[in-house]
Every structure is written in C-alpha cells, then in structure tokens.
C-alpha cells in the first residue's frame, strides 16, 4: 500500500475508507464551526500528495497561497465526483512514484516556506505524507459522525 490512502490500516479507516459513501451534501457540510469541510480536506490531501510526488522528482517544495492549499468547494455532485477522481489519480501517481523510487531515502529535499528554507530527507517526507493522510482520515471520520 502507498501513503495510507487505502486498505486495512491498524490506526483505523484509511483516507479512502473514511470518505467512502460521502455524498456531495455531506462533503460540503461544516458540522463543526470554523473547521474545514470533508471536501476541502480531500482537495488539501490531493494537493500535498501531488507536492510530494513532485519533490520525489526533484522539485523544491515551495510556499503556496492558501487558496491552492485549501481550495474552495464545488457545488454539484459532478464537482465532488471530479475532485474524488483527482485525489485518486494523484494517489495512484504518487504510489507509482514510490514503488519505482530508486533514489536515496536519506537524500535531502528542499522546502521554501515564506522566507524560511527547510531541508528534510525523502524518508521523512514519505513518513510525513502518510501521517498527513492518517490525520485527515481521522478528521473526516469525526466530521461524518456530526
């Protein structure tokens, strides 16, 4: 399995399992005031999986406007279906990149966030995206209960 998007993980539902059966209304709802909707979380996770995929191909991760990190909601079932398909495509691409990765897991990756430049290993980045997806799977599971 890839970065904890699907499959029986020990920590509970994976991200894909947590969004299974979520309809457009539930995806767009904000059952907890001031928190992100499930739809926003899906787009956010897709964005960061895509960023990690690019970084594994040598691109520097860079600061991004919040409008790209937390994309607004669509309005229709077709929009929701499109965004789910995008997340699935991004995940499949990242999983293929990870499966075929022959680089050094301890090689350092650069990340520019604002005026600060950080470095971390490919290994830490891969653990980070898995942790990120687990965290947001938990959020989705909580939002579904509300």
pLDDT tens sequence across 89-128: 999 999 999 999 999 999 998 887 777 788 899 999 999 9
Q: Torsion-angle region of residue 61: left (phi > 0), alpha (psi -120 to 50) or beta? A: beta
Contacts of 43 (CB under 8 A, 6+ apart): 70, 71, 83, 86, 87
Answer yes or no: is pLDDT of 8 > 50: yes
Whether 10 is covered by a domain: the verdict is no
* Torsion from C-alpha of 46, 47, 49, 54, nearest 10 degrees: 140
pLDDT tens sequence across 49-67: 999 999 999 888 877 766 6
- CATH number for the domain harbouring residue 124: 1.20.120.450
Q: Which domain holds residue 19?
A: 15-145
Name the 3-class secondary structure at 84: helix
- Average pLDDT value over all residues in the chain: 89
- Phi, psi for 111 (deg, rounded to 5): -140, 125
Whether 23 is covered by a domain: the verdict is yes
Domain tally, the chain = 1
């Amino acid at each position: 399995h890839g970065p904890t998007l699907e499959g029986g993980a020990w920590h509970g539902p994976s991200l894909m399992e947590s969004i299974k059966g979520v309809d457009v209304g539930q995806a767009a709802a904000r059952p907890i005031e001031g928190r992100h909707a499930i739809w926003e979380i899906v787009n956010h996770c897709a964005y960061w999986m895509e960023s990690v995929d690019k970084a594994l191909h040598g691109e520097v991760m860079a600061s991004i406007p919040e409008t790209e990190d937390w994309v607004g909601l669509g309005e229709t079932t077709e929009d929701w279906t499109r965004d789910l398909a995008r997340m699935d495509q991004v995940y499949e691409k990242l999983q293929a990149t990870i499966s075929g990765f022959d680089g050094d897991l301890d090689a350092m990756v650069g990340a520019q966030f604002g005026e600060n430049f950080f470095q971390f290993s490919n290994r830490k980045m891969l653990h980070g995206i898995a942790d990120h997806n687990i965290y947001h799977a938990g959020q989705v599971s909580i939002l579904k209960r509300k």
